[in-house]
A and B are shown apart, each in its own frame.
Chain A
Amino acid sequence: MGRFLASLRRTLAMARKELRQLQRDRLTLGMIVGIPTLQLVLFGYAINLDVRHVPTAVIDRANSSLSRKLIGEFEETQTFAIEQFITSEAAAIRLLEGGRIGAVIVIPSDFDRRLYRGRGALISIMADASDPTVASAVTLAGQGFARALALRMQPATAGRAALRPAPDDHARFGATSDLVRPEPVQVEVLPFYNPERRTPVFIVPGLVGVILTMTMMLMTALAVVRERERGTFEFLIATPVRRSEVMVGKILPYLVVGHIQVGLVLGLGVLLFDVPIRGSLLDLGVGALPFLASMLAMGLVISAASRNQFQAMQMSFFFFLPSMLLSGFMFPFEAMPVAARWIGELLPLTHFLRIVRGVVLKGATIDVLWTDVVAIAVFFTVALIVATATFRKRLA
């Protein structure tokens, strides 16, 4: 009994000590509240697999009042957000490769004529199928749209192969009385880049970015703080070494590590999941270099600001979480609310995902992705400056 009580006392003393330490560690306290809150908010808003407002471009070759009405109807479905009008398929491919646009609606020049003559008008939607979620949403919306249109045009004969326009739809589409037996409007979805809509094909290139975010950031996040904990910091700051030298010196070796990781994940993706690598590895390298550097710099910001390795790990996680949720890795970027997308645009991972998916899945070249490279480079520069400014060659 006495032994048990003694043990209990030691245990309680220990618990009290831990509690006191925790009480005095504001950052950890903040994390205790911050992480679940952040998770809840992010998941709550971002997990919205009901894809809406896919950024859409339109090639309107008919350019008639009828085609414009059709575009309006597409927009009313809320799946498509018409953002721009373009004139060529080449421009469409550029936009799709750059990840700016999720779908391109193509209205053929003979749209009106075919509709009137009852030949059935064919509308194509070029969909970015590298993200299967977006592709299915577009397909569903396209099919639903055609069906609804057909029903409206001849509600009485729904179910028959050939549908007639109902009187009110004649008016809606400006149909005249000489329009006899029109075929319904057909919508054809052309999946680009990942025609079989296999998830691994889409996930693996994204994983490159996610894994690098985590590993790169943690490596440097622990770098400065480890020096502090092991006492080598005091030797280091007593030497003439400059702050920026410490920063860059800690980044450099990991750039090599990062490229190895890129190769590893992609290589495994090819081996295990048949991920096609359509673009050039050189283009990928051009995109990967600033991204790796930006994550390493972010790690240094964290490291310079934290007092021990535990804090550094927690802060890394704090950055990692939104990167994963808001970059378009887990949920289609298009499906996120505007505010979340704005935050997403600030994260290097968002831009790197566009690069890696563009190059690997779509065979894009770096010239259509340069804005993303620039965005990452800006992040890197800011992070490095902040890290250097935060790192002080002083004790305490």
Chain B
Amino acid sequence: MNADPEVVLEARGLTRRFGTRVAVDHVDLAVRRGEVFGCLGPNGSGKSTLMRMLLGLLEPSGGDASVLGYEIPTDAEKLRPHVGYMTQRFSLYEELTVRENLEFAAEVFGIPRSGLRDLIEATIVDYGLVDHADTRAEALSGGYKQRLSLAATTVHAPKLLVLDEPTAGVDPQSRREFWEQLFELAAAGTTLFVSTHYMDEAVRCHRLAILRDGRRVAQGRPRDLLHALAGRVIDVETERPEEAIAALRQTPLVASTTQIGDSVHVLLEADAPDAAIASEELVRDLVRAGFRGASARPGGAQLEDVFVALLHDESAGGDS
């Protein structure tokens, strides 16, 4: 079915309705072997539902998918041994210790008995769980629970790893370490499909799909998505930034504003002139409004701008 043999996960018009609400709306995706593919979107944008459908845990209302060559949802059970799924909420057994949870995972995934013991001890070391191997999961901190979850979902060396907001509620240091581990897995040939609502994590992905209200509103390399916004971003320096924002919003050129400390990050309308020209216009407007020390220059787009632009341009009826 796949023209490109490197595509290991493909969604074709996947749709899921809950009653009248459409949680996932005709989503197409193609994830290639060995890449870290991000799925970015706010809460309720349909990320979890999409993942559950791709794993065959939830019947689609429409569309289908093929994952690692298996047709979903029909062949979902055949797919199981080859994927690891880390749920958003901790889904291992609280009453069991770290080692017991890993043993359970290894056993249900059919790891041969002979190598099981060694594999588990190695996993405990790899994921830095040595000091907590005999601690019950319920007594672990968020960061350790997350490590245990990842360890349990990778113990059978899956070809595809699906991670649903794995770093939600975890401190920055743990997040960094976690992502290092993800890239190690990718380097070893595992394909990763990971959802997040952290922009800094999304930027690190090889490729990215952005979901909003159940629809895939963008897909591509983060760099390309940012590049599309070149010339639409301006950084404004001014006194009284809160008041300046009010003035800037009156200008037809401005799509959105974000205060960052003493400066204002401005996203221009899609049909606005290039940032270099627009900067001068904005300064002129500000000075006229009484902000005499205002200055502006074209800035670098951030993933958040991509997000805001998608949201804004659509509601404005524009198309960029």
* A contact residues vs B (CB 8 Å cutoff): 230-241, 393-396
Contacts and interface: CB of A to CB of B under 8 A. Distances in A.
Contact of A241 (B57, B83, B108): B108
B77 A393 contact: yes
B110 A238 contact: no
Nearest to B53: A395
A231 B89 contact: yes
Interface in B75-123: 76-77, 80-81, 83, 85, 87, 89-94, 105, 108-110
Given A238-B57, A240-B108, 4 more contacts: A232-B92, A234-B85, A240-B109, A396-B18
Contact of B90 (A231, A236, A395): A231
Contacts of B83: 238
B4 to A, nearest CB: 26
B312 interface: no
Nearest to B87: A234
Interface string B132-145: 00000000000000
A241 B77 CA distance: 9
A240 B80 CA distance: 5
Given A239-B80, A394-B57, A396-B58, A231 B109 contact: no
Contacts of B90: 231
Interface of A is mostly: loop
Contacts of A394: 57-59
Interface centre among B57, B92, B93 (most CB of A within 10 A): B57
Contacts of A239: 80, 105, 108-109
Contacts of A395: 52, 57-58
B57 A237 contact: yes
Contacts, number: 49
A394 B73 CA distance: 11
Given A240-B80, A240-B110, A235 B87 contact: yes
A395 B54 CA distance: 13
A232 B92 CA distance: 6
Interface of B: 18, 52, 55, 57-59, 76-77, 80-81, 83, 85, 87, 89-94, 105, 108-110, 152
Contacts of B109: 239-240
A235 B91 contact: yes
A393 B18 CA distance: 18
Contacts of A237: 57
B87 A231 contact: yes
Interface centre among B76, B80, B90 (most CB of A within 10 A): B80
A241 B80 CA distance: 9
A234 B57 contact: yes
Contacts of B93: 232
A7 to B, nearest CB: 33
16 contacts: A231-B87, A233-B91, A234-B85, A234-B87, A235-B152, A236-B108, A239-B80, A239-B105, A239-B109, A240-B81, A393-B76, A394-B58, A394-B59, A395-B58, A396-B18, A396-B58
B92 A238 contact: no
Contact of A231 (B55, B57, B91): B91
Going nearest first, the 8 A-B pairs with the smallest beta carbon separation are A235-B91, A240-B80, A238-B85, A239-B108, A231-B89, A241-B108, A231-B91, A240-B81
Contacts of A232: 91-93
Given A240-B108, A241-B108, A234 B58 contact: no
Nearest to A245: B108
A238 B164 CA distance: 13
Nearest to A232: B91
A237 B87 CA distance: 12
A236 B105 CA distance: 9
A395 B81 CA distance: 19
B152 to A, nearest CB: 8
Contacts of B108: 236, 239-241
Contacts of A233: 91
B59 A234 contact: no
B232 to A, nearest CB: 40
B157 to A, nearest CB: 14
B58 A238 contact: no
A393 B79 CA distance: 13
B92 A235 contact: yes
A237 B59 CA distance: 13
Contacts of B105: 239
Contact of A230 (B59, B77, B81, B94): B94
Nearest to A235: B91
Contacts of B80: 238-240
B21 to A, nearest CB: 13
A161 B317 CA distance: 114
Nearest to B105: A239
Contact of A240 (B58, B77, B94): B77
Given A240-B109, A395-B52, A395-B58, A235 B81 contact: no
A232 B83 CA distance: 17
A231 B89 CA distance: 7
Contacts of A241: 108
A237 B152 CA distance: 14
A306 to B, nearest CB: 20
Nearest to A243: B77
